[in-house]
Amino acid sequence: MLHLRAIVPADRTERACAAMAGNPGVTNIVVVPGAARVPEGDLVTADVAREAANEVLRDLRELHIERDGSVAMEHIDLSLSVGADQAEQRAPGAGDDAVIWDELDHLTAEGAALTWSFVAFLALATQLAGIAALIDSPILVVGAMVVGPEFGAIAAICFGLCWNRRRVVVALRTLLVGFTVAIAVTYVCALVSRWIGVIELDRLPAERPLTAFIYSPDRWSFIVALLAGAAGVLSMTAGKSSALVGVFISVTTVPAAGNLAVALALKHRSEIDGSLLQLGVNLAGMIIAGVATLLLQHGVWTLVLRRRGRRAAGPRPQG
């Protein structure tokens, strides 16, 4: 269940409550007249089944509550209510299958933003991957995968390709700048380490049985990227953060970037080409699968609502 808190202009409170009361997935509607001061209005709260959240948000948006008041939703960790249980049963579909499009819109908008923390985490992850390439350490490869923050921007590209082309441009810029800076930082660190004797190699080791996969893409690389992209989008739409960690350690975007930086510093041409190809294969596979997954989820959920005689509420990205 989700908890809805809305500040509603007094002249629209009855219509907002009527819309919520007419939704089988809503219960525990409470109105506190005149409670809100900035902006002024009535405080309206309710418990909403996740499956009904899109319809409720659409109804409130049609009353322009988000413009003249405020709408917020938060997850309820524990709900002891027969009415809430019945609301969940009456709502169409299953909670884990429902996508709250406004929530996904905000998540991907955050993931598309170019921030100092994004660049810092990506640079740290790429350096870990560079060290992994030098010492042939799969443990460090996994660590670099987990630290890397790039999937948020990839998910933003997927969402943008479906519903908001402007977000694609923003997310692509974030990935380009982030990886360029991360590779450049790792390249400089590798050069300095070589000059001061920390790296005692003239080139990367010829035999790297444990980490050679990060610069040797094959058909399995693309298949894994497809599976990871689908799993990543599903984990975001269902709110399964533990599954998202699994996605991070499935694809070799950051390891390929780290290997690329070290290969550039040590002038290892074959591994430069292989790392670039691996990076491209992973990004392409995840984007293709992510877009397909979002479109499939939207189509399936629209059919579920139509069978229940309800109007579908789709994504309305804000920018």
Q: Are 259 and 214 in contact (CB under 8 A)?
A: yes
3: part of which helix (H) or strand (E)? strand 2-8
Nearest of 111, 137, 172, 171 to residue 255 by alpha carbon: 137
- Each of the 319 residues of the chain gets a pLDDT tens digit; together they read 899 999 999 999 999 999 999 988 999 999 999 999 999 999 999 999 988 898 999 999 999 999 999 999 999 888 888 888 888 888 776 766 778 889 899 999 999 999 999 999 999 999 999 999 888 898 999 999 989 999 999 999 999 999 988 999 999 999 999 999 999 999 999 888 888 877 766 666 667 788 888 888 888 899 999 999 998 898 888 766 666 666 667 778 999 999 999 989 888 888 889 999 999 999 999 999 999 999 998 888 778 777 666 665 666 655 5
Nearest of 35, 44, 57, 40 to residue 13 by alpha carbon: 44
Read off the pLDDT of residues 153-188 as tens digits, 9 standing for 90 and up.
Answer: 999 999 999 998 899 999 999 999 999 999 999 999
DSSP string, 28-91: EEEEEEEEETTTTEEEEEEEE-GGGHHHHHHHHHHTTHHHHSEEEEEE-S----HHHHHHHHHS
Nearest of 26, 17, 19 to residue 51 by alpha carbon: 26
pTM (2 decimals)? 0.86
Nearest of 166, 272, 274, 173 to residue 217 by alpha carbon: 274
* Residues whose CB is less than 8 angstroms from the CB of residue 21 and which lie 6 or more positions away in sequence, other chains included: 29
| One-letter amino acid for residue 142 of the chain | V
